[in-house]
């Protein structure tokens, strides 16, 4: 039985292009983002991947990427399930701010702490720990059962919601997850054993590295 779950970060969004904290702002893809989503599809086809179900967040940059990936793969009618739990972390007062401007205002170390730490939240926003509190139950209750039944599952989401899933699948500590970065268009493919542990892991980066 192929218990496969593939995690993909959406293509470049308008927020990524402008280097702002996007969070829950509902921005679409850039032309580069569309091309990145198509590249994801081609790389998945090169791995002989076909999917039985797809999950994505409720934010446009994620579900738009998911639709492009599936259309490029010829899986036009595949069931797509959107879940708010998979949304990007809420950056609170940082939302919409240019990241360089934020560093000037609060300092490099503080902004880096907000961006990469596990349990320190930006003002009015979510930490990665807070994000995990909604992502993990959704994964366990809504995604994992299908994977364990042999449904090949695609999850298209965001940098931080995916960091949460990588953390649980790779069994990373809160300290180790700080160094995890997932770029737009990156692919993390997992095949699970019967006890839900990872039997095989493969990463295909948008940069071309593996």
Q: Is 36 a catalytic residue?
A: no
End-to-end CA distance of the chain: 25
- The pLDDT tens digits for 19-54 are 999 999 999 999 999 999 999 999 999 999 999 999
- The pLDDT tens digits for 99-149 are 999 999 999 999 999 998 899 999 999 999 999 999 999 999 999 999 999
* 3-state secondary structure labels for all residues of the chain: CCCEEEEEECCCEHHHHHCECCCCCCCCECHHHHHHHHHHHHHHHHCCCCCCEEEECCCHHHHHHHHHHHHHCCCCCCCEEECHHHCCCCCHHHCCCEHHHHHHHHCHHHHHHHHHCCCCCCCCCCCHHHHHHHHHHHHHHHHHHHHHCCCCEEEEECHHHHHHHHHHHCCCCCCHHHHCCCCCCCEEEEEECCCCCEEEEEEECCCCCC
User: Which of 43-47, 59-63, 193-197, 203-207 is predicted with the least confidence, judged by mean pLDDT?
Assistant: 203-207
What is the pLDDT at residue 210? 42
| pLDDT tops 70 at residue 209 | no
* Active-site choice (36, 88, 126, 158): 88
- The pLDDT tens digits for 165-192 are 999 999 999 999 999 999 999 999 999 9
Please compute, for residue 11, the number of CA atoms within 13 A of its CA located in the half-sphere on the CB side: 22
- The pLDDT tens digits for 1-15 are 889 999 999 999 999
In the chain, domain spans: 10-190+198-204
What's domain 10-190+198-204's architecture? 3-Layer(aba) Sandwich (3.40)
- To the question of pTM greater than 0.85 for the whole model, the response is yes
| pLDDT tops 90 at residue 160 | yes
What is the pLDDT at residue 206? 87
Of 209 and 149, the one with more pLDDT? 149
Q: Is 151 a catalytic residue?
A: no
- The pLDDT tens digits for 57-108 are 999 999 999 999 999 999 999 989 999 999 999 999 999 999 999 999 999 9
């Amino acid at each position: 039985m192929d218990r496969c779950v593939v995690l993909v970060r959406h293509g470049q969004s308008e927020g990524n292009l402008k280097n702002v904290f996007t969070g829950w702002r509902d921005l679409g893809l850039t032309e580069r983002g569309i091309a990145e989503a198509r590249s994801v599809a081609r790389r998945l086809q090169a791995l002989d991947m076909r999917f039985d179900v797809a999950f994505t967040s409720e934010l446009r940059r994620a579900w738009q990427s998911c639709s492009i990936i599936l259309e490029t793969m010829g899986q036009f009618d595949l069931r797509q399930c959107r879940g708010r739990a998979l949304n990007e972390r809420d950056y609170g007062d940082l939302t919409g701010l240019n990241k360089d401007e934020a560093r000037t205002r609060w300092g490099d170390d503080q902004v880096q702490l907000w961006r990469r730490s596990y349990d320190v939240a930006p003002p009015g926003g979510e930490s990665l720990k807070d994000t995990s509190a909604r992502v993990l139950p959704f994964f366990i209750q809504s995604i994992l059962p299908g994977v364990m039944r042999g449904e090949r599952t695609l999850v298209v989401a965001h940098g931080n919601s995916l960091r949460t899933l990588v953390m649980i699948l790779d069994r990373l500590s809160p300290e180790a997850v700080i160094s995890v970065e997932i770029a737009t268009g990156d692919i993390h493919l997992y095949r699970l054993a019967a006890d839900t542990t990872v039997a095989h892991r493969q990463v295909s980066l948008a940069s071309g590295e593996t």
